[in-house]
Amino acid sequence: MPIKERPAERARADDIALAGLSFLAGDGERIAGFLEATGLDPSALREAVKRADFGAGVLAYLLADEPLLLVFCAHAGLEPQAVARAHDILSPPADPDAVVRRAH
């Protein structure tokens, strides 16, 4: 069943991504590292948060740094697998059977 048909899972994944952003923003060094890695500045961050794929990016950043991921998981009371699952929901793998539409 496509994720758009499972709104509770999508909402939980969004909540985990928001918790991840809050965790990063709660410490100057953590948010500075995130901003540096993404190339965003604080004003651009405000706009980026509105993008549909932003939560997946936050979770990808956490997943790419295991020590940071483990600190986040301890802080949020989550297992690393829950963060990975949330990322997969927010950024599903490409569907090879999907119809590709190209701009003409």
Distance CA 33, CA 31 (A): 5
Condensed to tens digits (0 to 9), the pLDDT of residues 43-87 reads 899 889 988 889 999 999 999 999 999 999 999 999 999 999 999
Strand positions, DSSP E, 1-104: none
Global confidence as pTM:
0.82
pLDDT of residue 38: 92
pLDDT of residue 84: 96
Condensed to tens digits (0 to 9), the pLDDT of residues 19-43 reads 999 999 999 999 999 999 999 998 8
Closest CA to 52 of 13, 6, 90: 90
pLDDT of residue 103: 45
